Amino acid sequence: MLSLAKTKDREAMRAFIGNRKSLMSWKLDGLTVVLTYREGELAKAVTRGNGIVGDVITGNARVFDNIPLKIPYRGELILRGEAVISYPDFEKINESLGESAAQYKNPRNLCSGSVRQLNNEVTAKRHVRFYAFELVRADGVDFAQSRARQFSFLEDQGFEVVEHVVTTSENLDDTFAYFEQKIRTFEIPSDGLVCLYDDIAYGDSLGNT
C-alpha cells in the first residue's frame, strides 16, 4: 500500500478530475486494515504496517462492531478499509480510564491500540468499526471498470463502505461544500478527502501514487 498524492488547491483538484467521473470520499483517520475472505468466510485480517508487511489481527477483526464474518461471495475476496473509533466512543472510553496517563490523546491512537490488543475481549469493548474504501480482488465478478460498482458489490456483501459522492469538475465546489458542512458534526475522525477516478483501468494506467 503506497501513499496518496496531496493537494490543498481546489483548482489543482479540478484539473486532476478533468472530464472524468470521480468519487470523492472521506479520508478516515484510523488504522488501515486489509481483509481476506475465502469460501465466504473471513480468513485473515492484516494492518497496513509499513505498506508492505503488517501485523496479523484476525482474531481482533472478528470482534469489530460491523465486520461480516460470512459473506455471500464464495471466491477469494480481498479489500481494504479503515478501522476507526468514533468521537463519542473515544470520549466514553477515556472517561472510564479516569484522570490518568492511561488516557489516549486521540481516537486514532485508541484505535491503533485496540486493534493490536492481545486479548480480543478488550477489543470487543472498544467498538471498533470498519469502513471499506477499496476492493483489491474479487475474481469472476464484472465491475464494468467502475469503482462505484465495486462499492455497491461490497455493500451487497454486507460491508459498510466509506461515504462517497460522484464528482466531476463541474460539481466539485458543491461536493466540497457538502463535506465542509458535514465535517462539523461528523462523528468519525477524518483528516481530509480522497478523490479517485471511477474508471478503474484509466486510474491504474496513471501509476501508483
What single letter denotes the amino acid at residue 113? G
- Angstrom distance (rounded) from CA 80 to CA 47: 10
- Angstrom distance (rounded) from CA 21 to CA 197: 6
Helix, strand, coil % over all residues of the chain, rounded to 5: 30, 25, 40
Instruction: Find cell 494506467 and name the residue.
Output: 205
Active centre residues (catalytic): 27
Q: Which three cell numbers stand for residue 77?
A: 475476496
Contacts of 178 (CB under 8 A, 6+ apart): 165
Contacts of 124 (CB under 8 A, 6+ apart): 63
- Angstrom distance (rounded) from CA 94 to CA 98: 7
